[in-house]
Structure 1
């Protein structure tokens, strides 16, 4: 009997230990493991000032980013230029590049709660990932950004020019053969640059000499030109960088990991880019590269895209699985691209030319201007989307110009740099996905597809908040319109012509997915079920002892 009693005591002790450890594993251990994970994900440096694992991965992102460019070849240029015809386009591509990034000159400050970096990028063209007939040297027929930009100044109130100056510029454009459309090579248009007569003249020694000698050093060219001598949309970007960043390391609050403190040494974007303080804010992380841990479906993820010159919000869309890792997909929704909404009015295209590019996109069947009942004491805000069809408003006309339909916002800066945009272009999702049908049909050749053309999507592993996959798609469009001062532009239609779009997809290296799988997926689940198992086994042992003692008693 004595031996049996000792065995009972041992079993009771074992049961108590198992239940205690199981309870500890369910209540206390998750917090301890969270702290361990947080310390591993914080952007930190070691005592010898070498980078911690997370900071090292941050400085050289372990991902493969495939960037595909699709171009819209305009097929009826003569009809557009001479007859004002609707543009017809054919999609060509993809022309594929592999992008790599490296964050350089990392510095820490404020007790290692903030980190500085400059983000350098490199693009390498890949024939084997491009379409079978695609060559880096292919020519594409698209709107001529420099020529159209040179003619648009006549409508911009910031530049006042005499009739004589306008005539001289018109003659110069004719003499140099500048037309509203041109056929540059793909590689030149994107990165390498091609010679343009207007750019060459604007930066020539003779213009500098005349400006210094007869105009007090002020350029005789009546409107600003970009500081580049050849034309390319990403001129000088290869193996270059955007502006410098200070971001939060997450040391004092893991939820702030990667949140931007300043970009280009500023906390707000310039007023010349966007017209409202809300639009000028620099929110969230650099291109959505981080998110807070323990993500939920209610979370909204703010982010700043320096190449798009603005901030966005991403919202939960659905559950996904990337490389075997359960993830949550967050995407930038339709509303973020709708500049007719009051909260987005700061992103509106200024439309100095006052063209109604898409007549009838606002359906106002009962609109009647004579029925307007507004008064000075009770005005109607025509900036509000809800009032665009009000009898006191003019079906999309706000003040002296027209608002664009949803799906567009202007390129405000030279992508990624604290410089005002040298191009009069508009961003949109590919194939004008978020615009009304009448807009899509204004150009023959558009075929939007939600799954293929949704613009900005981010898959996150929810426990850590880390990114597992990124999809980035944006389209570049050029407004064209008739301008009687310039003969080659006198008969153009009022249209927004697509030029090209980028469709990028970034995946992590296999070892990174394995790291995520073990650290963020397997271990939390393993520890949870181990704790459950310990409690269950402890309870069963206790029940076994109770049953044995009962049998001995009876």
Structure 2
């Protein structure tokens, strides 16, 4: 009995020690995991995060859909445009960061070199052969500039003469509209310093190029790791100059290719887009999964492009002032698009004002699942594992009396092209992330729960056994006393018991 009690007492002590050790492991392991993830996500050569940031292991593509205007003759007379979507025309995209330079102030500088290669296998049609009809964007641009700009005396009549003979609704191949084509108006403007390139295209000179020098926080030797990869400067500037308020001109967040670790569902995600020259907010929507890894989906909310009436903080995006606010869902980017009357929206005018935007054209069917922008983020490391950045390029259409082809058009916003820049982590990239992050976390989680669970089990079993032994001990003592102190009886020959004392007397 004594040996059994001692044995289970020792087991109880061991169980208590293991249970306490397991409980202590929870905050210790959490701290160690946090420290290791921070170290591995810093933008320093040799870390896991640096490799994912420098050249993301993802399948990246750019898809274009064009809007074919089927009734240009009627539009010239003031009728609604009837539009038919064509595409997608898909390009494989490469976007490695180059000229990476660490700075003494805790930032790193780089440019992202983007290149595009046509992927006919994932395209509907051939952009070199397929043609579509739309507005003559250079014509609308210089019709607008003649009205609002003080041009040199010799240049204005030359531009007007060209505008009057230009076809307001020409047809071009998809390739020409995206990557550029010769245009007399643009050539004349370029020669006089009014256009950046001698050709026109919505992505002209964008292949094998970059969108400027970025400076971002590296997280190295910095207490605040929430700013890893957040933009400090773009093209040497810490703020923008396109908008009318200081808040709107702030450069917030990252470039969308990499985020800080340890996401908080309650906090929004900010992404700066050079395409629209501003930062966009994204908010948590739901839990998702990418290649068997849990992720959180962040989406651009309706108020991102809402006008100042619907969402007052957006008043700064009304340019040149609040009197020039566009309807909800549209963003005037003419200031960062060389004065062209370009407005951006989500595809199919998603979240746009129905009466002032969507109902003025025929053929668009906005759908949240197909047309919203989203980021599926691994919350521990902040890695974007599945991304779809979607935008639509539109032109402001309005009549100009001096130009016959457009003197009678109605005022509306004409969709030209919408695009989807998507990135999905590769199998190898997902395996690397699992090996470096998920597997160690899983093993340490199993370890701390195992130690706590095994220790607790030993404590419970030991207490049960020791309690049973304690309850049984008094009963055994009573039996022993009855044997030692009670009468010892023997049987008589006739089977009746008799005491030893009676036998002695006889």
Q: Structure 2-normalised TM-score? A: 0.86
Deviating more after overlay: 177-186 vs 501-510: 177-186
Shift of 1:7: 3.9
Displacement, 1:135?
3.7
Deviating more after overlay: 326-335 vs 528-537: 528-537
Deviations 1:461-516 (A, max 9, x none): 12222211111110000111111122222122212111010023210111222233
TM-score normalised by the chain length of structure 1: 0.79
Partner in structure 1 of residue 497 of structure 2: none
Deviation of 1:265 after TM superposition, in Å, equals 0.4
Name which of 299, 323, 332 aligns with 1:410: 332
Q: Classify 1:148/1:412 alpha carbon distance in 2 versus 1 (closer, same or farther; 3 Å).
A: closer
Matched, 1:250 2:239: no
Q: Which residue of 1 aligns with 2:35?
A: 35
> Equivalent of 1:466, from 383, 390, 395?
383
User: In the alignment, what sits opposite 2:234?
Assistant: 263
Cα distance between partner residues in 2 of 1:55 and 1:172:
52
For the 8 Å contact 1:166–1:485, the answer to whether it is kept is no
Please give the per-residue CA displacement for 1:403-459, whole angstroms capped at 9, x wherever unaligned. 321010122455xxxxx52522110011111112222121111111111111x2111
Question: Aligned in 2, Cα 1:512/1:28: closer, same or farther, shift over 3 Å?
Answer: same
Asked if structure 1 preserves the Cα contact closer than 8 Å seen for 2:134 and 2:169, the reply is: yes
Contact 1:94/1:134, CA 8 A, preserved across alignment: no
Aligned equivalents of 1:92 and 1:241: distance in 2?
28
Secondary structure of the structure 1 residue equivalent to 2:389: strand
Check the 8 A contact 2:5/2:469 in 1, yes or no.
no
Q: In the alignment, what sits opposite 1:321?
A: 289
Q: Would the alpha carbon gap of residues 547 and 84 (structure 1) be closer, same or farther in structure 2, given more than 3 Å must change?
A: closer
Alignment of 1:152-191 (within 5 A): 152-156=144-148, 158-159=149-150, 166-174=156-164, 177-191=165-179
TM-superposed CA distance for 1:526, in Å, is: 4.3
Aligned to 1:197: 184
Q: Which structure 2 residue ranges, 5 or more long, are not aligned?
A: 474-506
Is structure 2 residue 316 aligned with structure 1 residue 346? yes
Structure-2 separation of matches of 1:431 and 1:551? 75
Q: Is the 8 A contact 1:349 1:409 kept in 2?
A: no
Corresponding position of 1:289: 257
Structure label with greater radius of gyration: 2
For the residues of structure 2 that align with 1:292 and 1:201, how far apart are their CA atoms? 47
Pick aligned residue for 2:302 from 330, 334, 359: 334
> How far apart are the structure 2 equivalents of 1:52 and 1:527?
21
Contact 2:39 2:47 in 1 (8 A): no
Q: CA RMSD in A?
A: 2.3
Secondary structure, aligned partner of 2:30: helix
Higher helix fraction (1 or 2): 2
Q: 1:115: which partner in 2?
A: 108
- Identify which of 272, 294, 299 aligns with 1:304: 272
Change (3 A) 1:110 1:3: farther
Deviation at 1:93, TM superposition (A): 0.7
Deviation at 1:107, TM superposition (A): 1.1
Is 2:30 the partner of 1:59? Answer: no
The match for 1:448 is 366
State the aligned residue count. Answer: 466
User: What's 2:100 paired with?
Assistant: 106
| Residue 231 (structure 1) aligned with residue 231 (structure 2) | no
